[in-house]
Structure 1
Amino acid sequence: MPKKWDQSIDIHAPIEVVWGYLDGSLENMQKIMPNVVDNTPVKVTDEGVGSISRQKYREGKRVMEYDVHTLEYMNKVDEKKLTIAFNLGGMFDIQGTYELFKQSEDVTTLRYTGFNEPLKWYIKPFVVLSGEKVVNEFLTRVKRVSENRE
C-alpha cells in the first residue's frame, strides 16, 4: 500500500519564478533539491511528456542513479503541471505531481501530490511510519528559495 501526500503552500513569488526551480536548470533544481547531484536528459520530447532524465541522488556517501520519466507536462500562463515517476534502487516506485496556480502577479500556490510505494515487504513498515515531514520541508524550501530568489 503506497504512502500518499497532498499538500499545498502559497508562495509570494511570480509563477514563472517558482516554475524555474521545478522545470529549470540543474543549478536551480539543486536549490530546492540539494541532494540531486546530476540531472542529464536521456530523451527529450517536444511536448515534455515521455521525456526521460537520468538523475543522481546523494544520500550520505551513497549516490543512487535512476531514470525520471515525465508523465504529465503543462506550461500555461496561469497554471503549470509536472508529473514525474521513477524507481529508486528497486526498492520504491515514486511519483510526484507539482501543480502551480497563479493567484496574482506575486502569489503562486504550489500543490504537491504524490506517492511512495515500497516494492519489498520489509520496507513497508518504514513507509507507513513516514510522516508529512519530508513533504512539508520540501514545500517550505521551495517557498523560501522562490521568495528570496536564492
Structure 2
Amino acid sequence: MKWDCSIDINAPIEIVWDLFDERHPKRIMPKVDSNEWIVQNEPLTGSSYKQTYREGKRTETYLVTITEFKDEPEEKTKSIQFVLANLFETNLTFEMQKLADSRTQFRYVGSNEGINLMAKTMLKLGKKQENGGPVVAEFMDRVKQEAEKDAKGSE
C-alpha cells in the first residue's frame, strides 16, 4: 500500500515542523506512547529511537530509523523507516514547504510492504484504499488542526 497526500496549512512552517519532534509524538500520533532515543546524530539522519505504540490492549515496540532529515527555513523533510510486528516494512516521509510566512504545504508520503508471505497476503486481502484510506486522511487532518491551533495561540 502506498500513499502521497498534500494539504495547505494556515500556520508557519516552524509550527508545523515542531509537531514532528520526537519529544511529543502523541499530538499527531495518539497511539504512540513514547519515543526513546537510541542513537541521536546531528543532523538526525541515521539516528534511531525505540517507539512504543498501543492498539487497544496490545503494545508494540519497534526501532525507528531516520533515513532523511532536512531542516531549512523554506523546506523541511523527515523520512523514517521501521518494521511493524515483524510483518510490515513502513517508510514515511513528512515534507513541509513554506508558501508564505503563515502558510505551509504539508506532504505525507508513505508505504507499507509485507516482508513475509503472511503479511503480503494480509495486504492483498485488505481493501485497496485510495491514497492510504481513512487512517491517512485522519492523520493529515490532525496535523492541520494541531498546527493551526498552535498558530492561533502564538498570535
> Could you tell me the TM-score, scaled by structure 1's length?
0.92
The aligned residue for residue 84 of structure 2 is: 88
Residue 136 (1) aligns with residue 137 (2): yes
The offset of 1:132, in angstroms, is 2.0
Structure 1 residue runs without a partner (length 5+): none
The CA deviation string for residues 10-61 of structure 1, in whole angstroms up to 9 with x for no partner, is 00001000100112522xx211100000100000111211100100000000
Correspondence 1:1-150 to 2 at 5 A? 3-26=1-24, 29-119=25-115, 120=118, 121-130=120-129, 131-149=132-150
**Bigger Cα displacement from structure 2, 114-123 vs 99-108:** 114-123
The offset of 1:105, in angstroms, is 0.6
The offset of 1:67, in angstroms, is 0.5
Other structure's SS at 2:8 match:
strand
Aligned partners of 2:22 and 2:35 also within 8 Å = no
**Bigger Cα displacement from structure 2, 106-115 vs 126-135:** 126-135
User: For residues 127 and 84 of structure 1, do their structure 2 counterparts lie closer, same or farther at Cα, with a shift above 3 Å needed?
Assistant: farther
Structure 2 residue runs without a partner (length 5+): none
Q: Would you identify which runs of 4 or more consecutive aligned residues in structure 1 move more than 6 Å?
A: none
Other structure's SS at 2:124 match:
helix
Identity of aligned residues (%): 38
Root mean square deviation, CA, Å: 1.4
Report how many aligned residue pairs link the two structures: 146
